[in-house]
Structure 1
Amino acid sequence: MSTSNKASYTCMHTWFRVFSPCIVDLPYGIMWTHRQRVGTQLASNRPNGAPHWFPRKGRWRVMWQKSTLRSLEDITKHDRTQLRALPGLHNALAVALPLIIGLVTNHTLSGLGIAIGALVAAFAAVKGTLRKRLRTMLWVSVWMGVATFIGALSGGISWLTITLMVLIGFAAGILNAVSVTAGQIGMLTTNIFIIISHAPQSSIHALDSALLVMAGGFLQIVLMGISDGLSQSNAETTAVKAVYATIANYAQSRTRNTDLLVAASLLDADTCLNDSWLHKGRWEKLRVLVDLAELIRMDIVTSTRIRKGLQNHGALTDAEERGINTALTTITNLFRAAAKLPQMRKLIPQEISIFEEMLTELGSILREMAVTLHSNPESATYICLHQLHSKLAQVVDILSSETLHQAYAVAYAPRRSSPPKLRRMFLLIRTNLTFRSSSFRHAVRLAVALGIAATLYRGLNLPLGYWLPLTTVIVLRPDFFSTFSRGIARMLGTVLGVLLATLLTMIPDTSHLLDITLIILLAWALYTVVNFNFALFSFFLTSEIVILLSFFEHSAPSVAITARVTDTIFGSLLGLVLYLVWPTWQRQNVSTVIADWIHAVQPYFRTVIESAPHSSAKLQSYRKRARLARTNAVSVVEQFMLEPVNPTLNATAVAGIVAALHRFSNTLLSLESRVGVEQQFRANSAVVRWTHQMDEALTVIENSVRGTNLRLPAADFNPPIVDQKIVDVAPSALFTLGLLRLEESLENMVRMLPISGPQQIDLQTVSRSPASRS
């Protein structure tokens, strides 16, 4: 290595040494100062000798203030992109048609049973591909029938109804460990059981009711299939368009928030395409577009890191600056146009010519760089922009044709994956049957809440008392934010819905024309706003249920209003109080999800550094696992930061290790573009030793975070060193810079350990001076 390169290497390393700790700590240190001050004040109010979880004076006041403010924000929070007017219309028709036919044929109660089944089953078809929605709705329909039969038979025996409600509530809670969809099936089944058990029936009538409810679910499935067949859009294409829209925003503004949105959209697209019934040719085109988008995202990360590194050293040329800017602008414009393209089928000729001009401009810049960099043909900027130009040209080529060319299908070899098997579901449930599992704790809490609510309304013989457990199961959720922050929105929407709907049922309507009209309008409204605004959805849903049940409930209006409002308020309060008595804070899951993230990053790191050419399938698999773990960890940590309690974890350490992991993951993305290129680099003994040391260090950090090795003495940790032997065989200065970033990110993780209690490792002990590395 030349003297100038050695000097640059030493300079880079010194810069990392001095400034990278500040970059990790500064944003979170400012945030945590206020938290520590508040926590200290609250801790001073705890009685002497009380455990850490004992309610301090002022603790509940702070908790309620924060949760109330967030709930008030949630009441008005909305997302226009989540309005679903057309799907909501066919969902509403499936609810109204059975009632209309039942009224005309004098079989009102039969029509009501089908309508209730259609109403509940439709919630399983709100989101996802046709294949996923159909599978979920079939499960919901079957389990609704089973719950209806059991509920109608057991409704006359209070102790049996309460016992079954507890068991069904526990099952609904533990299903959250499997997936969100499974948890949704469990909750919908529980709701049906609560409603039906209020009106006991004989075995013949119970079987008849079960078949009617199942028929409602199947009617919803038929109408969904017809609607999807007539629709020009599908969930798979929408997910791919979201990927292109988020990457366009990321190319224009590279922030942590836009980066996380890209990761979430890629995860959603993978989920949709892996559970799809699209035609092979159409599916392959979307799959290749997603793979190309992800590769281009890596090049965005690489190009911006190249520019920043060259700017820091004053070595960025005008051609390089212009080339990177042109590439990012081209990505932004092309990807936004693709995201707006109907079904992403084919660009119009005018759009093709515009993007071809952009690619021509980028190509001319590359030719100019090739001339000016003739003495350094391996320039990292030139290599990155050349790869980016090629991938953008492929995107334009694919979007210019209706079908995917066979060459792309061969090159990218897209393959479908099968959905999870039932065996995996039972394995997940068995694994979570422990109090260490938040899903198990939620299941127990939900079972106890339903037991108390059912005992109260059965024991006190409350009129319309089933609203008490029904509200409780709707309010009580596995985490703090969903239970408290959305609790006020739920309570407000439910109470207002009960009041308005009960008043509307007081209007004389012997022909039921008003009731049918209200059912259609309210069903359409609730399915349209289901993901738009939660308080509005709660209002429409409650109103719809009240009017539907008014067909066989004949209580006096004043009694009905009082009973429903009272039961709704007490059911909500019961759920909130039980969560307060036995809360599940996300701080209990923080260590696990961060350790899982580190565990998922390890094979991705090894593959990036060690993989030979043609290992793209393995790399893609590891990258997706790391992305999923990252998304899960960020979600849990964000909720942990919002919890209004004095945490046992060090929030500064948690934030610091998450920031370091973000940096580690992004650096791997930028290095992945050189995977399998340098055989000499991969085979070098110093590189092999360094990779092994880094892998061992990640294992040590994972164990420390997970809690299997809480004390991590400095003597047990010898940080890997990017020494001169590695620098000599590195393919470029950029690659060396990436290795240094990995190493510094790892050391920043170590600085944050342990994430609870006093830190055991001092940076000065594990650090090495810049001179020792040069």
Structure 2
Amino acid sequence: MSWSAALRDTARSGLSLDRSLGSPRRAVRGALGAALVIFPALAVGGPALATSAAMGAFTAGTATFQRSFRPRVSMAVAAGIGLGVSTFLGYLAVGVPGAFPVLLAIWAFAAGMAWSVGPSGGVVAATTVSVMLVVVQLPVSVPTALGHGLLCALGGASQALVVTVWPMESWRAQRDALADTYASLADYARRLRQDPFAHVDPEPFVLARQAATLTPWQARHRPPELHGLRGIAERIRPTLAALADPRVGAPAEGPGRDRAREVLAAAAESMDALARAIRTGEPVRSPKSTPTLTLAGSDPEGPRLTGAARRSARRLASLLRTAVDTLDKHDQDTISSPVIGPGLRRPPIFRLLPVALQAVRRQLRPHSAVFQHAVRLSGVVTASYVAARLLGLEHGYWAPLTAAMVMRPDFAQTYSRGVARLAGTVVGVVVSTAVVQLLHPGPWLSAVLAVVFMGGAYLTLRTGYAVMTACVSSYVVFLLGLQPGDPVVTALDRVALTLLGGMAALVAYALFPTWQTARLAERLAEWLAAAGRYTAAVLIVYGDPEQGGRRVRTTLLDYREARSELLQAMEWADAEPVSHAAKLPDLTRKQLDKARAAIGLLGRATILMEAHLPGRDAGPLPGAAEFGQELRRATSAAAAALLTGERVDFGGLRAAHERWDRRLAELPREDRTEVARAGGRLVMAAIADLDRAVRPRRPVPSGT
């Protein structure tokens, strides 16, 4: 993609608006949390203290709106503490000549590294940089620095208080994530009716797993119906694929295929009903068009499914009945205590620091995208601040503030947000300055207007970054309008400095980019290695059923997350103004697409075998474990070869498969054996496709 096309597309994305608004009640609650500290601070300490309290309360409130499955109270408290620390350190450093730029550089670098923890952490950390730049402009003495820092933290506590006292949409994010999983499965079942080789979207499953990872407090208070249904969905997914695939399930044509389509349609309607019940908390209303006999594929008046297909249909019916019974049981037993199983555990917020430090340590590498973003952010923010100070600009902090809020680790978000930030800031500053000129509000009316625009920012978080930025700029203008000065001159300065800071951020990314295109081969290699571990885990269970499916589940999650990361990297890379040939010298985009298809086929073959995974009491399948171990070694070597441009010899894997296939041929014919043979052949077909896809374009020297 050319630079002109990339800039056009990112600008269009940044200025695009969504007609939907956020929850008005949540917006009012966030504004109320800010008002609880702004007005008392204004009455007791004046405009300076009110500004610090407002900054802390607004940023903590914004943290509670981030897409996260962590309790909102803990997010508000953590954001408030971070803001308090940054404000206190900023006030201490600004009084020492030359100390504040050094602190700003270190703090901005740390904020950039916070993306190691996740997008929510990166966004909140970037906000602490902007708050530090704003509040230290207010004239205070060092002894009062601690008071300002405590007020910022108090703003976070205020938001935590209103969330606790006025709860709304409790567990909404978890319900939506689980419901989206069942809705995605319903869509998958419908697509399988037309395309028996369709792929399932992994994103809902990734989000559902994140939603099911609970803190101890959440584990004690979660609704009972949110326990166990995710595991059922995980088992439904391979069962659907095994039923539809003609190689191990229903025949490609004829009455058996028609019956399989009926089963898939009935399953889709049932899963839609489950999704609605999970999302709303109401009882399951199963459609009348999905009788049990149809789901089981055993209607005596119609064609019957046979063999592995019949087994898959029965398992599907059993899983759906279990899911419905789970919801019905919890709906009827309303006074029972929540069921607490072993589940997935998320550490409490106070124990998250070692985990975060470990994530940051993994990214402290020169070639890491997060590390490069942190260096770029630190350099641009500090340089903008120093330049503004040297030029004697009164409101020079708006330039580094804009840069801090615009810059992201990838090109698309940085440029789209940059354009939206510039447009929103210009509109917000102009509108708020006009209001100041017309109304000449005093301190109390300015504080009221600031709170109103805070609520507007919360309300428009989903509408578009430009609109939300306009509200944020307006509330900052009203807050700083509590200080003396000419509002027109101040507005012009802020617009000019916002343009300067935004352009500095965009130019810095263009000069020192972090192209996702250059990382596609690495993401592909990680997905291939994860696919090999997943397939090997399934084969090892076939060879030793007593091991159970726990390792299969772990490797499946790794496989799914690696695929999701590759897809996200490809989406970001498609928006970058660089040539794939220039950034992938050893792997063309065509080769990349073919390799993706091959790894996808490997994953699908594994899914089909997982659907018929033997129970612990089943007999071992000879040779399966040995073939799985050889497959894991071969795919691990192939993943390393993707990054070096070398060719992998799959001769040992082919020989291992031939030995295993001969041993299976000598066994009595049964569903499990036939599925294993078909799955093994699909695995080797995928390996052959992968071998052709990643074959080096340059000749490999002899003797290597």
1:331 paired residue among 223, 245, 267: 267
Change in Cα spacing, 1:79 to 1:333, as seen in structure 2 (3 Å) is farther
Supply the AA of the counterpart residue of 1:632.
E
Offset, 1:598: 2.2
Query: Residues of 2 paired with 1:423 and 1:198: CA distance?
Result: 33
Query: Residues of 1 paired with 2:622 and 2:652: CA distance?
Result: 24
Decide which moves more: 605-614 or 95-104: 95-104
Residue matched to 2:560: 627
Residue matched to 1:706: 643
Change in Cα spacing, 1:525 to 1:334, as seen in structure 2 (3 Å) is farther
Supply the AA of the counterpart residue of 2:505.
G
User: 2:72–2:163: 8 Å Cα contact kept in structure 1?
Assistant: no
User: 1:719–1:747: 8 Å Cα contact kept in structure 2?
Assistant: no
Supply the AA of the counterpart residue of 2:128.
T
Residue matched to 2:687: 746
- Where does the alignment leave 5 or more consecutive residues of structure 1 unmatched? 1-34, 36-61, 762-774
* SS class of match (1:507): helix
Identity of matched residues, %: 21
User: 1:446–1:473: 8 Å Cα contact kept in structure 2?
Assistant: yes
What is the CA deviation profile of residues 459-491 of structure 1, one whole-angstrom value per residue up to 9, with x for unaligned ones? 111121110100011122111111123322222
User: 1:147–1:193: 8 Å Cα contact kept in structure 2?
Assistant: yes
Offset, 1:367: 4.6
Residue matched to 2:409: 478
Supply the AA of the counterpart residue of 1:691.
G
User: 2:63–2:124: 8 Å Cα contact kept in structure 1?
Assistant: yes
Residue matched to 1:696: 633
Change in Cα spacing, 1:499 to 1:259, as seen in structure 2 (3 Å) is farther
Supply the AA of the counterpart residue of 2:270.
L
Q: How does 1:718-757 map to 2 (within 5 A)?
A: 719=654, 721-722=657-658, 723-729=661-667, 731=672, 733-753=674-694
TM-score computed with the length of structure 1 as normaliser: 0.80
Supply the AA of the counterpart residue of 2:603.
S
Change in Cα spacing, 1:714 to 1:295, as seen in structure 2 (3 Å) is closer
2:378 paired residue among 447, 459, 469: 447
Query: Residues of 2 paired with 1:428 and 1:404: CA distance?
Result: 43
User: 2:402–2:502: 8 Å Cα contact kept in structure 1?
Assistant: yes
Residue matched to 1:273: 212
TM-score computed with the length of structure 2 as normaliser: 0.88
Q: Are 2:6 and 1:66 equivalent residues in the alignment? A: yes
Residue matched to 1:246: 184
1:178 paired residue among 114, 117, 120: 117
User: 1:117–1:213: 8 Å Cα contact kept in structure 2?
Assistant: yes
Supply the AA of the counterpart residue of 2:646.
R
Change in Cα spacing, 1:334 to 1:512, as seen in structure 2 (3 Å) is farther
- Where does the alignment leave 5 or more consecutive residues of structure 2 unmatched? none
Change in Cα spacing, 1:284 to 1:592, as seen in structure 2 (3 Å) is farther
Query: Residues of 1 paired with 2:105 and 2:24: CA distance?
Result: 37
Q: How does 1:212-227 map to 2 (within 5 A)?
A: 212-227=151-166
2:549 paired residue among 616, 619, 622: 616
Change in Cα spacing, 1:692 to 1:411, as seen in structure 2 (3 Å) is farther
Residue matched to 1:666: 604
Query: Residues of 1 paired with 2:454 and 2:249: CA distance?
Result: 57
1:137 paired residue among 71, 76, 81: 76
Q: Are 2:521 and 1:591 equivalent residues in the alignment? A: yes
User: 2:297–2:314: 8 Å Cα contact kept in structure 1?
Assistant: no
Query: Residues of 1 paired with 2:200 and 2:58: CA distance?
Result: 33
* SS class of match (1:400): helix
Q: How does 1:81-96 map to 2 (within 5 A)?
A: 83-96=22-35
Offset, 1:298: 1.6
User: 2:516–2:573: 8 Å Cα contact kept in structure 1?
Assistant: yes
Change in Cα spacing, 1:403 to 1:372, as seen in structure 2 (3 Å) is closer
Query: Residues of 2 paired with 1:293 and 1:223: CA distance?
Result: 35
User: 2:108–2:381: 8 Å Cα contact kept in structure 1?
Assistant: yes
Change in Cα spacing, 1:363 to 1:336, as seen in structure 2 (3 Å) is closer
Change in Cα spacing, 1:364 to 1:719, as seen in structure 2 (3 Å) is closer
How many residue pairs match? The answer is 679
User: 1:243–1:265: 8 Å Cα contact kept in structure 2?
Assistant: yes
Q: Are 2:579 and 1:641 equivalent residues in the alignment? A: no
Query: Residues of 1 paired with 2:235 and 2:518: CA distance?
Result: 36
Query: Residues of 2 paired with 1:622 and 1:518: CA distance?
Result: 53
Residue matched to 1:424: 355
Query: Residues of 2 paired with 1:460 and 1:233: CA distance?
Result: 51
Residue matched to 2:103: 164
Q: How does 1:109-128 map to 2 (within 5 A)?
A: 109-127=48-66
Q: Are 2:468 and 1:564 equivalent residues in the alignment? A: no
Offset, 1:614: 6.2
Query: Residues of 1 paired with 2:41 and 2:73: CA distance?
Result: 26
* SS class of match (1:380): helix
* SS class of match (2:50): helix
Q: Are 2:536 and 1:606 equivalent residues in the alignment? A: yes
User: 1:341–1:347: 8 Å Cα contact kept in structure 2?
Assistant: yes
Residue matched to 1:154: 93
User: 1:71–1:485: 8 Å Cα contact kept in structure 2?
Assistant: yes
Offset, 1:651: 1.2
User: 1:609–1:675: 8 Å Cα contact kept in structure 2?
Assistant: no
User: 1:359–1:393: 8 Å Cα contact kept in structure 2?
Assistant: no
User: 1:235–1:272: 8 Å Cα contact kept in structure 2?
Assistant: yes
* SS class of match (2:245): helix
* SS class of match (1:368): coil
Supply the AA of the counterpart residue of 1:702.
A
Change in Cα spacing, 1:126 to 1:714, as seen in structure 2 (3 Å) is same
Residue matched to 1:383: 311
Offset, 1:586: 0.7
